Structure 1
Amino acid sequence: MLSVGLAVILSIVIYFVWLKRIYRQYRQCVAQNGTGYIVSLIQKASIAKDPDGICSHGKHREDGLPWPHADGQDQVSKNLRVLFVTAHPDDECMFFAPAIIHFVKLNVSVYLLCLSAGNYYNQGEIRKKELLKSCGVLGIPAAHLTVIDCRYLSCAGKLPEGCCALALETVNIFRKYVSIFELPISWFIASDFISIIWKREYGQAKRAMCCHDSQMLWFRQVYLLFSRYMFINTFRLISEERQR
């Protein structure tokens, strides 16, 4: 029994070291590429009927080389704008915290559009204030937050030139509730964009969620501990056909 227990502990330690190594590789990719792969997504979306797939995870191109730094990288970051669209207050930290933190660290202008005030239990004004506090923790300026309460939205129209749309990937319930331990699956399965956070950034995401005092029920406490969305976001580029 002792040998079995030691084997289990050793396996957990080795797996955790592997997770840390993947995260370090991700950080190296971010440091190398900066906003280069973000620009590549926009370029891909702007080219009609582009037969080539986008780089896996934004890590490298189809030829295996890293995306080159754009000239004036800091200026490129400042000129980029990212809009997150959520359904309810608290979605920004329950589902998008890794990506929001990622873009804020790259000095990209981050905006949030929330499509409801969460007024189902007549808590709309309370939840708006909580959302504002949460955005402050995540690094989204108050001026970049918009909350609308509209039940009917039209899907007609096209994205402006120079824009692309990404959809957060939905994973099965097993992958969803194994926390950071799901990382190898998300890392090795190709996606158009990935964001990963570790212990310190997770603390930031958790503090943002705790700003939503009215929503901190027991099952959300469990969610904070076990949801992989608190650590990992993977996205798919939305094609013109899907936009229509």
Structure 2
Amino acid sequence: MLQLAFYALLFTSICGYAFFQGRFLESPLRKTSIVLVIAHPDDEVMFFGPTLAELTRPEHGNTVRVLCMSSGNHDNLGETRKKELVASCKSFGIRESHVTVLDREELKDGPEELWDPSLVGDQMNLYAKKHNIETIITFDERGVSSHTNHIACYVGLTYFIQTFKERTPVKTCYVLKSISLLRKYTSILDLPLTMVMTEALMPLISEWIGASGTAPLARGSNNRVSRTTPLRPLELLYVSSPSAIAQAKGAMEKHESQMVWFRKLYVIFSRYMAVNELRRVM
């Protein structure tokens, strides 16, 4: 019985994967300026690889930047990790000038370090204004791995939204949805459950049933918009192609100082290396 259930799960996972590689679901983030806000060098690929692989596709016309809140200097490897981050981002086509690492005393790397939300939010605001950022992407309230610094990025984003929402070029903010530990290490086998639970497929379903141009928008709005209007749905789902997964693995290998045995296993089994689900918070 368990064997049958496994094969059924594997079959539906492969079918779901084939569905997304047919590119039936297009990203609404096009021709816009985006910043990925992370806590440490390697977060960009360990957790956001599918997002970066999709948003940096040349045909989307996006300008993608990375803002890293710390140098990851917990083990006195900060300078090395900065260089590794630049090399990793280059794997996604992100130029060095679009990668910024903050190295402030108040933003030390470490699970016991509590970052001031106002400082994190202020840094987001300054960066957004300097580079005319329209979309911010970061961790959610659980930080994927419950790391204090990851969660601080979300809390800082909350402060940013509450304080600067009316006077910022930022139009949308998305956070990476955390999932349970069991789902986290099932790679694409988690895809059927993701597809059942996500709202990211709603625009496509609406089009199929004849309500084209309708998408679930933030704050519960479902007003009809034209096809030429950029949609900002409540959720986005990015599923990497085999080449994008290979791209992410190559990017992770740039973080040589972090490639201990358990991270090598993470690269193989983590769902976040293949699937990203983003939730809109602004």
Aligned residue for 2:175? 167
Verify: 1:196 aligned to 2:148, yes or no: no
Counterpart-to-counterpart distance in 2, 1:133 and 1:125? 13
Equivalent residue for 1:112, pick from 66, 74, 81: 66
On the 8 A contact 1:97/1:230 being kept in 2, the answer is: yes
Deviation at 1:187, TM superposition (A): 1.4
Amino acid at match of 1:183: L
After TM superposition, the score normalised by the length of structure 1 is 0.71
Counterpart-to-counterpart distance in 1, 2:34 and 2:11? 33
Counterpart-to-counterpart distance in 2, 1:210 and 1:148? 22
Aligned residue for 2:33? 81
On the 8 A contact 2:184/2:270 being kept in 1, the answer is: yes
After TM superposition, the score normalised by the length of structure 2 is 0.62
Equivalent residue for 1:18, pick from 5, 12, 25: 12
Counterpart-to-counterpart distance in 1, 2:193 and 2:8? 16
Verify: 1:224 aligned to 2:267, yes or no: yes
On the 8 A contact 2:50/2:273 being kept in 1, the answer is: yes
Aligned residue for 1:137? 91
Verify: 1:186 aligned to 2:194, yes or no: yes
Q: Secondary structure at the match of 1:18?
A: helix
Verify: 1:208 aligned to 2:208, yes or no: no
Q: Secondary structure at the match of 1:194?
A: strand
Query: RMSD over aligned Cα, in angstroms?
Result: 2.2
Counterpart-to-counterpart distance in 2, 1:136 and 1:23? 26
Aligned residue for 1:47? none
Deviation at 1:88, TM superposition (A): 0.1
Counterpart-to-counterpart distance in 1, 2:76 and 2:6? 46
Unaligned runs of 5+ in 1: 39-76, 240-244
Q: Secondary structure at the match of 1:135?
A: helix
Identity rate, percent: 34
Aligned residue for 2:222? none
Counterpart-to-counterpart distance in 2, 1:198 and 1:107? 19
On the 8 A contact 1:101/1:139 being kept in 2, the answer is: no
Deviation at 1:22, TM superposition (A): 1.6
Amino acid at match of 1:126: T
Amino acid at match of 1:93: V
| Stretches of 4+ aligned residues off by more than 3 angstroms | 10-17, 27-30
Aligned residues: 191
Verify: 1:158 aligned to 2:164, yes or no: yes
Aligned residue for 1:176? 184
Deviates more, 1:17-26 or 1:215-224: 17-26
Deviation at 1:140, TM superposition (A): 1.2
